[in-house]
Structures are given as C-alpha cells and as structure tokens.
C-alpha cells in the first residue's frame, strides 16, 4: 500500500496465543498488514498458518482460550481492541462482515433464509415489518439468486451449496459494510460455482466501494481477484506486495515455493513442486526466529537472528535475512520474532 494511502483496516504488531493443556500456542506473532478503503487483499498460506485466527481477532470473535499479548487492530483509525463486547456487536454486520467457510454450518438449518437476512437488518437498521421482507428479497436479488421471492421462504437444506453461499453473501452485505472478510468462500464448491461466487464478491465489492480481505490457501485464486497479497506462514507475515509483483519476482523463499506449487494456466502436473516439511509445532519453546527456516533450502546461520523487514522497491516487503531479490537501500530492522 502506498505510504500516503490511508488504511481502512490496519493490523499493527499483533501477537496472539492460545493457552492449552499441552502448552502455549503462539498462533500469531508480530503480524502487521493494511487494507485501504475499496481495496482487495489476499491473505494466503497453508492451512494452519493462522489466517482464520487473524480474521476472528479482527472481528473480536476469537476463542475463549485466545489471548492477545501485543499490538493493535484499527478500523477507520479506531482501535478495535479497546471496544467492549457491545461495541463490537454493533460493528459486526454493519461495518464489518464475514463470509464463513461452510455456509451449511453457518446458516441456521431450521430458519428460512429470508428470515436470517431480516435478523441482521432488524439489529442494525430501522427497518421493520414489510420493509424488512422487501429489503431481504432485494438482498437475495443482489447476489443473483433467481426467483428471490420464492427463495426467501426456503430452508438451507433445500438449497445447493453454491446457493447457500450466495445467501451467506446476502447476509454479509445486507447492511452494506465497509469491510468484507471472505474466509475460504469457495470451500466445497465445484469449479464453475467457485468462479461464479468469486466474481460475485469482486463485482459487489466494486459496486459498493467495499474493501475485501480474501483468506485462501489458493494462491491462484488470490492472484485473479486481489490487488495485493500478504503471505502467511506459521503465524508470521513473511511477504506483502502488489499481486503481480509477487508472482513476477517473489522475494521470500516460502512465497516462491507456494507459487511453484500453484497450478497456473496450462502447467503440467510434473512441473508442480510440493513444499518440503510441515508447519512447525507452535507450542515449541525453541522455534527459530524464522519459522520457515527448518523447511528452507536457503537456510544459513544468520536465520537464527531476529527477522528484519526489507523493502523491495516501494510496494513490496519481505521478512527474510536472505531475500531472493535485492532489497532497496532503506532497510527497516523492526523485528517480527
């Protein structure tokens, strides 16, 4: 993001841990990212990297065992961590909204989908009575659900997976939020439906001037639908930048390996490369400063030191002692570990 561009969402030096019977899990460590008004940011990385944990922290719906140990989450300049429960409830659904991974689980199975849209509208708007129903039907129409008047009375089990996901989007966008978080919104959908859902999210974001945070393990999906990408590994943001910059010249070894493992165009199966090893156990007390070090082909002794943040030009930043491309002359030494 350009230095002069104000952020709608800013996560600054955020650390979060879970207290469990088997030890403390340091799920997020010194995470920072920014998303401008109307922008689209893809948060990518393997399953278990901490992407959903970060999104739940932004919305204030993290697990009871979670504890934020440092940092700030700012929305429109205001620190969300300073809000009490009532203030966050007022924001969720109105200013901040989320599409969850599994719509069949997220939707109430014994309530008509139109009524579920009305529930959000009744909480955050002055609409009542027939006006609620009218607006709910409009919401179904906006997400391209055919015959919305009839679908209003349907139950989730009567709808396909793709149609349930459209209902989830309708609920999320009912109050025209300024920020939409889409957490793996195409999970379990066929390829054709996936493309339709992603085009819908992108088009509605553009029409309504809404910022979008797309959480996905699919780097190809993020490339197609996001302006910028933040790469996450084991609770660290290891690289951020403009989407095409990252694909053209990845600076972090993990980003490069993710790209090599991503099918692009007419790539042949034999040309895809898996990433060696697994995510580290975040309960360990002996984790190296770089949590990718034990999987990295370029590991050197210096990787044990606290990680710097290198600027690559004006738009790209990498957390690595030995980036794949030369950093700019100005180097920021703020540690993330």
3-state class (DSSP) for residue 160: coil
CA 38 to chain centre: 15
Q: What percent of the chain has pLDDT over 70?
A: 93
How much of the chain, in percent, has pLDDT values that exceed 90? Answer: 67
Range of the domain at 296: 7-95+177-275+285-332
Nearest to 260 by CA among 324, 319, 187, 183: 324
Spatial CB neighbours of 297, under 8 Å, sequence gap ≥ 6: 253
What's the whole-number mean pLDDT along residues 25-34?
96
Global pTM? 0.90
Q: How far apart are CA 320 and CA 322, in angstroms?
A: 5
In a domain, 255, yes or no: yes
| Number of independent structural domains in the chain | 2
Same domain, 17 and 29: yes
- Cα–Cα dist 309/319, whole Å: 5
CA-CA distance, 304 to 208, in Å (whole number)?
A: 46
140-191: per-residue pLDDT in tens? 999 999 999 999 999 999 999 899 999 999 999 999 999 999 999 888 888 8
Tell me: do 308 and 185 sit in the same domain: yes
Any idea what the CATH number is for the domain that residue 230 is in? 3.40.50.300
Q: Does residue 337 lie in a domain region?
A: no
Residue with tokens 């996901």: 165
| Same domain for 193 and 320 | yes
- pLDDT given at position 306: 86
Structure tokens, 283: 């309960």
2 within a domain of the structure (yes/no): no
Tell the residue number behind the tokens 């109430």, with chain if given: 108
Would you tell me how many other CB atoms lie within 10 Å of the CB of residue 289? 18
- ∠ CA(35), CA(38), CA(41), 5° rounding? 40
Q: Which of 176, 200, 229 is the last residue of a domain?
A: 176
Q: Are residues 137 and 203 in the same domain?
A: no
The answer to whether position 280 is within a domain reads no
Q: Please give the helix or strand (H or E) that residue 28 lies within, else none.
A: strand 23-36
Domain boundary among 120, 151, 176: 176
Cα 94–88–111 angle (5° rounding)? Answer: 60
Q: Which two tokens stand for residue 78?
A: 């205001």
Tokens of 49: 């990297």
Q: Give the number of other Cβ atoms within 10 Å of residue 292's Cβ.
A: 25
Work out the number of other CB atoms within 10 angstroms of the CB of residue 303.
18
Whether residue 166 sits in one domain with residue 150: yes
Please indicate, yes or no, whether residues 65 and 114 belong to a single structural domain of this protein.
no
Q: What is the pLDDT of residues 49-88, one digit of tens each?
A: 999 999 999 999 999 999 999 999 999 999 999 988 899 9
Residues 70, 120, single domain; the answer is no
The C-alpha atoms of residue 127 and residue 133 are separated, in whole angstroms, by: 9
SS (H, E, C) 34-68: EEECCCEEEEECCCCCCHHHHHHHHHCCCCCCEEE
Tell me if 35 sits within 8 A of 7, measured CB to CB.
yes
Q: Do the Cβ atoms of 260 and 273 come closer than 8 Å?
A: yes
Predicted pLDDT at 335: 46
Does position 2 have pLDDT exceeding 80, yes or no?
no
Q: How far apart are CA 235 and CA 45, in angstroms?
A: 10
β 228-233/316-318 pair status: unpaired
């Amino acid at each position: 993001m350009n230095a002069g561009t104000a952020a709608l969402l800013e996560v600054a030096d955020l650390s979060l841990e879970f207290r469990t019977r088997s030890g403390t899990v340091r799920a997020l460590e010194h995470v920072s990212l920014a998303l401008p008004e109307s922008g689209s940011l893809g948060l990518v990385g393997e399953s278990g990297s901490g992407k959903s944990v970060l999104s739940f922290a932004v919305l204030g719906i993290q697990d009871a065992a979670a504890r934020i140990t440092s940092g700030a989450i700012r929305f429109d300049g205001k620190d969300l961590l300073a809000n009490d429960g009532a203030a966050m409830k007022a924001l969720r659904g109105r200013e901040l909204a989320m599409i969850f991974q599994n719509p069949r689980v997220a939707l109430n199975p014994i309530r008509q989908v139109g009524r579920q849209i009305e529930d959000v509208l009744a909480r955050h708007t002055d609409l009542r009575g027939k006006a609620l129903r009218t607006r709910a039907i409009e919401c179904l129409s906006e997400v391209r659900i055919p015959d919305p008047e009839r679908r209003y009375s349907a139950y989730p089990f009567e709808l396909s997976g793709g149609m349930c996901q459209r209902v989830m989007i309708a609920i999320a966008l009912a109050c025209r939020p300024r920020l939409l978080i889409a957490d793996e919104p195409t999970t379990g959908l066929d390829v054709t439906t996936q493309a339709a859902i992603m085009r819908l999210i992108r088009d509605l974001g553009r029409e309504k001037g809404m910022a979008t945070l797309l959480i996905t393990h699919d780097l190809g999906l993020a490339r197609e639908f996001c302006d910028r990408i933040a790469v996450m590994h084991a609770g660290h943001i290891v690289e951020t930048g403009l989407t095409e910059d990252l694909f053209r010249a990845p600076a972090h070894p993990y980003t490069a390996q993710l790209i090599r493992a991503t099918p692009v165009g007419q790539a042949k199966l034999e040309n895809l490369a898996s990433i060696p090893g697994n995510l580290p156990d975040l309960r360990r007390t002996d984790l190296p400063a770089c949590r990718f070090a034990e999987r990295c082909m370029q590991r050197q002794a210096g990787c044990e030191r606290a990680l710097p943040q290198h600027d690559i030009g004006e738009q790209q930043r990498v957390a690595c002692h030995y980036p794949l491309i030369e950093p700019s002359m100005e180097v920021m030494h703020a540690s993330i570990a």
